[in-house]
Amino acid sequence: MSWYGYPVVRRSIQFSRTELRHILLAMVVLTIAFTLAFSRVLSSGELSLADRLISNLLLASIAVPTGFLLHELGHKVVAQRYGCLAEFRSYPRGLFLALITALLGFLFAAPGAVVISGYVDKRQNGRISIAGPLVNLGIGAGFFALWFILRGTGVDPVIVGSMSLLRLTWGVAFINLLLGAFNMMPFPPLDGSKVLRWDLRAYGLLLAAIIGLLVSLYFL
């Protein structure tokens, strides 16, 4: 069996050269877009443009691979474990939109998605769909715990520019949890709509955990 000229082995994780190019394109564009958006929204106006860009480039360089790439790979891994063909494909128009909105001071991105081909039942489709938000929850919870511990110690070294370790861990946690919450909205084609059709309890528990951590980030 092959897809786009590359062999596919059942139940093993495979990447084609085409997919890797699409991943690299999406990662580069999203990192630039997030850096621009963060520099407009998250930084003090007293800081220089260069300082804002350097500081937020570091944040974007961690937030994009964890919040976006690992989310999509979560879908891919589970889909391929079920014997499906699954490869990431970028959306050029969505990436262009991300750059334009970032320049305007906010960010709306539709960078692409894992394209899945093969038969899955409702339960399998639900598990494939929940894998991405679960990755966001796990990463968000991990950085939340690190932020909470650092805040308790009172140690907050500056890493580069105006980016401190405390701010970095908070930002990565927030972005992962926000992306997870967005993808759990119960509207097609978002993950939440497919998870909800599969298991209401799983949907409610995951969404409650993500929202709970998001609220804690604001009020702790």
pLDDT tens by residue, 61-101: 999 999 999 999 999 999 999 999 999 999 999 999 999 99
The answer to whether 89 touches 199, Cβ cutoff 8 Å, is no
With bands split at pLDDT 50, 70 and 90, how would you rate the model's confidence at 5? very low
Distance between CA 33 and CA 27 in Å, rounded? 10
What is the span of the domain harbouring residue 86? 2-219
Q: Write down the pTM of the prediction.
A: 0.89
* Given the residues 19, 46, 72, 87, the one annotated as active site: 72
When computed from its CA atoms, the radius of gyration of the chain, rounded to whole angstroms, is 18
Find the angle CA(5)-CA(6)-CA(9) to the nearest 5 degrees: 140
First-last CA distance in the chain: 53
Looking at residue 109, what is its pLDDT? 86
Structure tokens belonging to residue 6: 């590359």
Looking at residue 2, what is its pLDDT? 41
With bands split at pLDDT 50, 70 and 90, how would you rate the model's confidence at 51? confident
For the question of residue 72 being annotated catalytic, the response is: yes
Looking at residue 13, what is its pLDDT? 79
Based on the structure, what is the number of domains in the chain?
1
More confident residue, 201 or 163: 201
Tell me how crowded residue 147 is: count the other CB atoms within 10 A of its CB.
22
